[in-house]
Amino acid sequence: MSFYFAQLLTGLANASSLFLIACGLSIIFGVTRIVNFAHGSLFMLGAYIAYSVVTRLDAGVFGFWFGMLAAALAVGLVGLAMEFLILRRLYRAPELFQLVATFGLVLVIQDVALAIWGAADLLGPRAPGLARAVRIFGEPIPQYDLALIGIGPLVLAGIWLLFHRTRWGILVRAATQDRDMVGALGVNQNWLFSAAFFLGAALAGLGGALQIPREAVSLQMDLNVIAEAFVVVVIGGMGSVAGAFVAAVLISVLNAFAVLVFPQISIVLPFVVMAVVLVLRPHGLFGKPGSGHGAPGEPEAPLRHMSGRGRMALAALVLAMLASPAVAGDFTLILLVDLLVAMLFAASLHFLMGVGGMVSFGHAAFFGIGAYGAALAVKTLGLGMGGAMLAGPLAGALGALVFGWFCVRLSGVYLAMLTLAAAQIVWGITFQWQDVTGGDDGILGVWPAPWASSDTAYFYLAAAICLGGIWALRRVVHSPFGYLLRGGRDSPVRAEAIGLDLRRHQWAGFTLAGTLAGLAGTVFAFSKGSVFPDVLGIAQSVDGLIMVLLGGIHALAGPLLGAGVFVLIEDWVSRLDFWRFIFGAIILAVVLLAPDGLAGGLERLRRLLRRTTGGGAAR
């Protein structure tokens, strides 16, 4: 009995640190509707700054706790600068666009931390006065764990008081519910948002600082916590701080006991819990309907058919690409295949997000299922490349059919996070099921058939498949089915009112997007010759998301532009030292120059040029 009690305490201590990481994220999203990918980076900065302060002061109990607060304050100021310099300029951008900016910040902060603190892990001191264990029912319990168990609820109580007993808190809660109304009442939203960002960032910094006595400070901290922080926030219900606390306790305590029975479960446990919660409660434990949507963007202009001239330009581009083997070296073709795969993947995600209005954080699931479907068809079923090229998209379709059924019941960030959970669960199974998938050693030797194995032949094959897929998606967008999806995206209520079974159509759209992502994964598998669980990973999903958002979600050309720019810049920039800083800075520059994405930016540039040359009169 005493053993289980001690295990419970261990779980509760973990819950406190998880809550401290997640609560700031919840506050920031609740108020500003920004999905802040850089939250993990703020957490990491908190740990590094606290390490520096505590080790430099070396002043016992006082120095330690002073270091904690100093780190929280410093990170709060970093967050304030982020909001003031970058994010403030993006509040009118399309839903979730700010996510691209925070992604750029993640890259920048990684290299800044590397430059300042170096590559080696730093083990900070234990908390003075709390460095030992006490015996509770005979079991040793670290004193610091007990302190954490206290700090978590204290912070929760502090936030509650702030939100319910101060005027600022009341305004923040009002803004969480109806921003426009608060603005109409004469409250300066900018000030409110800045303050919320400061608070959220400071809490992330505090969470990082309080980790020092428990773990070494390292450059992996940012990406290690970010997914779990989102999971906690979503399980609790977006914007609900108390919900985040309950979710943190749920996950941590479950994990503490699960490792006793089934140690491998840790890898996917949070995502399984999230999937179950979201299937049962579509808005998380304490979330309200509508709490999962980003800031309302500008209403979207209907898509127009391409003009004759546009078609000609497009045809010219495609022809130029197809003619490139005549002039370009082998490596250019290899890069172009990567580009085509990225374009098809981004286009399929754009079809889901931009056309269908279903945001996905886990689109890599279908890309990866396609890649694994093709690889397994070759390795296990012994099919040739032709058969595998059918098996890949079919597998993607099947996966999307299953997950889509659950996902279309949700909306906004909840839907996005359920797709993430699906992707992570598939990833976990692939990772663990060594006999079939090879685990993280992957599947090797998935090379194209001899006739397609030359770089030129495979380039043409990939071009035919990917351009064909993109063309098919375009056709669908302009078909009645596409109109229906767009109608459902813009006004689900009206769509239902005129008798459309929206969910069923969204399910079909989800499946189509999954199929084409699977097709992209298939082309990818044969171009690389091997498949690893990374293709299902969060990084792959995020890359797709960034391509779509960066390109511009309101235009069909957006994902293609975004994929092109992303792949080419990354290939070029990763040759340099501190390339993540440069890459992040480029992304930030693009985001600030074109808050409506590359497609929107180019469109404005075109209009500007036309106005200056007076060409507009011709139309």
Residue span binding other proteins (CB under 8 A) among the ranges 323-331, 408-416, 510-518, 589-597:
323-331
Task: Considering only residues 117 through 156, tell me which ones interact with other proteins, judged by CB under 8 A.
Answer: 119-123, 126, 131-133, 140, 142, 145
189 belongs to the binding site for other proteins (CB under 8 A): no
Among 59, 319, 320, 381, binds other proteins (CB under 8 A): 320
Comparing C-alpha atoms, which of 292, 291, 258, 250 is closest to residue 274? 250
DSSP 103-118: HHHHHHHHHHHHHHH-
CB of 188 or CB of 220, closer to other proteins: 220
302, two tokens: 């209907």
Check residue 603 for interaction with other proteins (CB under 8 A): no
Cα torsion 378, 518, 273, 217: sign: positive
188 contacts other proteins (rule: CB under 8 A): no
Shortest reach from residue 70's CB to other proteins, in Å: 22
CA distance 612 to 529: 51
Looking at beta carbons only, is 510 or 524 nearer to other proteins? 524
For other proteins, the closer CB: 97 or 526: 526
Q: Facing residues of 216 across strands?
A: none
- Closer to other proteins at the Cβ: 110 or 506? 110
| Interacting residue with other proteins among 59, 161, 402, 609 (CB under 8 A) | 609
- Least distance (Å) from other proteins to the CB of residue 225? 9
- DSSP H/E element including 491: none
- The answer for residues whose C-beta is within 8 angstroms of residue 561's C-beta and 6 or more apart is 551, 552, 597, 598, 599, 602
User: Is residue 568 involved in binding other proteins (CB under 8 A)?
Assistant: yes
Give residues 441-460 in contact with other proteins (rule: CB under 8 A): 441-442, 444-445, 447, 455
Does residue 572 interact with other proteins by CB under 8 A?
A: yes
Chain positions 492 to 551 lying near other proteins, rule: CB under 8 A, are 524, 528-530, 532, 534-535, 539
- At closest approach, how far in Å is the CB of 190 from other proteins? 36
CB of 421 to other proteins, least distance (A): 16
Q: Measured in whole angstroms, how far is the alpha carbon of residue 345 from the centre of its chain?
A: 16
DSSP structural state of residue 537: S
Q: Which is nearer to other proteins, 144 or 286 (CB)?
A: 144
Interface pick for other proteins out of 220, 307, 380, 479 (rule CB under 8 A) = 220
By beta-carbon proximity to other proteins, the closer residue of 223 and 390 is: 223
Q: Quick one: tokens of 389?
A: 């090229």
Query: Site residues for other proteins, window 262-291 (CB under 8 A)?
Result: 263-264, 266-267
The reply to whether 599 sits near other proteins by the rule CB under 8 A is no
Beta bridge partners of 122: 217
Minimum CB distance to other proteins smaller for 159 or for 561 = 561
- Per CB under 8 A, does 224 bind other proteins? yes
- What are the tokens at 608? 């500007």
Q: Indicate the residue among 137 and 191 with the shorter CB distance to other proteins.
A: 137
Q: Give me the least distance between CB of 338 and other proteins, in Å please.
A: 6
Quick check: 313 binds other proteins (CB under 8 A)?
Answer: yes
Of 413-442, binders to other proteins (CB under 8 A) are 431-432, 434, 439-442
The rounded distance, in Å, linking the Cα atoms of 541 and 364 is 5
What are residue 566's phi and psi, to 5 degrees? Answer: -65, -50
Q: How many residues bind other proteins (CB under 8 A)?
A: 87
Q: How far apart are CA 469 and CA 518, in angstroms?
A: 11
Point out which span in 84-92, 330-338, 354-362, 549-557 binds other proteins (CB under 8 A): 330-338
Q: Which amino acid is at 537?
A: G
> Applying CB under 8 A, which of residues 301, 326, 331, 498 lies at the interface with other proteins?
331
Q: Which is nearer to other proteins, 11 or 509 (CB)?
A: 11
- CA 261 to chain centroid, in Å, comes to 31
CA atoms within 13 A on the CB side of 540: 26
Segment 81 to 110, residues that bind other proteins, using CB under 8 A: 110
Binding to other proteins (CB under 8 A) within 4-43 occurs at: 6-7, 10-11, 13-14
Which position among 329, 384, 386, 468 is part of the footprint of other proteins (CB under 8 A)?
329
Measured between alpha carbons, how far is residue 359 from residues 68, 291, 415, 541, 584 in Å?
37, 15, 7, 11, 23
| Burial state string for 119-153 with b = 16 or more CB within 10 A and e = fewer than 16 | eeeeebebbbebeeeeeeeebebbbbbbbbbebbe
**Residue indicated by tokens 């706790």:** 65
Give the ranges where 491-537 is alpha helix by DSSP (H): 492-497, 502-528
Distance CA 388, CA 382 (A): 9
- DSSP helix, strand, coil percent of the chain (3-state; round to 5): 75, 5, 20
Q: Is 318 in the site for other proteins (CB under 8 A)?
A: no
